[in-house]
Amino acid sequence: MIGNSQFSSPQATEWVKGKVIGSGSFGTVHLAMNKATGALFVVKTAQSEAGLQFLKNEANILENSNSPYVVQCLGKEDVSNCANGERKINLFMEYMCGGSLSDVAEKFGGALDERVISLYTREILLGLKYLHENGIVHCDLKCKNVLLGSSGNIKLADFGCAKKLLNHDMIKTNGKSMESCKVMGGTPLWMAPEVLRNEGLDFAVDIWSLGCTVIEMATGRAPWGDDKVSNPMAAVLMIACGNEIPQFPAQFSKEGLDFLEKCLERNPKRRWTTEELLDHPFVTGKSGDGNSIKEDACSPASVLDVGCYDGSYESDESPDGGKTEIVWLNKVVGMVYMPL
């Protein structure tokens, strides 16, 4: 079992809530401080039934996780109001002061340099490898759900849609075959075609979303283009039932383009695994003959100015809370939609 015993849940009298730094379909995110130590952390709070389920799932997924590439859950607090019967959950999370990859791209002109994308992609892959080895599918990978620390290190976050799959020991010997899971969620423009067709779930769906996230980092836009964002229902049908893949960045190297081809293979059985992708030249910086294909080294920290961040954190806002899309998608494929 993997452990996270170095953390304990703050008691109600031990911490003070600060400003709102994010909000979404599940509830709100506040910055908080431990009154005894001055340490900063994040409190995610939900009161609606859907929000409670979202945070409970996130807590269950993260309670035993221990990876430098996955955001840490510090504990959970259930709060009940006996007078009116209301209930809420506070989920205590590690504070990542650099914001999300979406914030970084916005601060640096909307898109990132390919060398930086390569380095971030490697760390995302290491996070996914850890999750998959422990039978977990993230299900909602995108730039908004990848957070940065002060040194430029990245961690996967927002596990409200994640699924813990059974019999993952069997799967380790056959990484391209997985059990079916008929209750799914995520963000449609980042979802794999088989997910939108409600055909089940395996680790390969995260690989498709990774390819979409790489395109997002390279272009500063949603993987299928801004026109699809304005009509997500039509986009879902196109992704699920068509033969298209997202348009690749024109400026990408041949290694980057090949990497995307391996991720965005419509047949999930032919998609590369995390282990295979970690050996890809786009990530390693080495060609097939062992020679370097990158001119110089570039650390993620070297492109970041910590002082430029405004502290936004895991914000998934939409004007109507995504209600229209939720109703429509539930009727069509029976899934939960997370707003862009």
- Given a contact cutoff of 8 angstroms between Cβ atoms, the answer to whether 200 and 194 are in contact is yes
Non-local CB neighbours of 100 within 8 Å, separated by 6+ positions = 143, 144, 145, 146, 147, 148, 157, 312, 313, 314
- Given a contact cutoff of 8 angstroms between Cβ atoms, the answer to whether 26 and 50 are in contact is yes
- Given a contact cutoff of 8 angstroms between Cβ atoms, the answer to whether 98 and 35 are in contact is no
- Output the CA angle 183-208-164, nearest 5 degrees: 35
Upper half-sphere CA count for residue 295 (Cβ side, 13 Å): 4
Tell me how far apart the alpha carbons of residues 214 and 255 are, in angstroms, rounded to a whole number.
13
44 is in an annotated binding site: yes
* C-beta neighbour count of 99 within 10 angstroms: 25
> Distance between terminal CA atoms of the chain?
34
For 322: left if phi > 0, alpha if psi spans -120 to 50, otherwise beta; the answer is: left
Closest CA to 186 of 123, 128, 142: 142
- Given a contact cutoff of 8 angstroms between Cβ atoms, the answer to whether 142 and 190 are in contact is yes
Secondary structure of 41-66 in HEC code, one letter for each residue: EEEEEECCHHHHHHHHHHHHHHCCCC
Task: Give the max Cα distance, the chain.
Answer: 70
Q: Please identify every residue annotated as catalytic.
A: 140
Binding-site members for ATP are: 44
Binding-site members are: 44
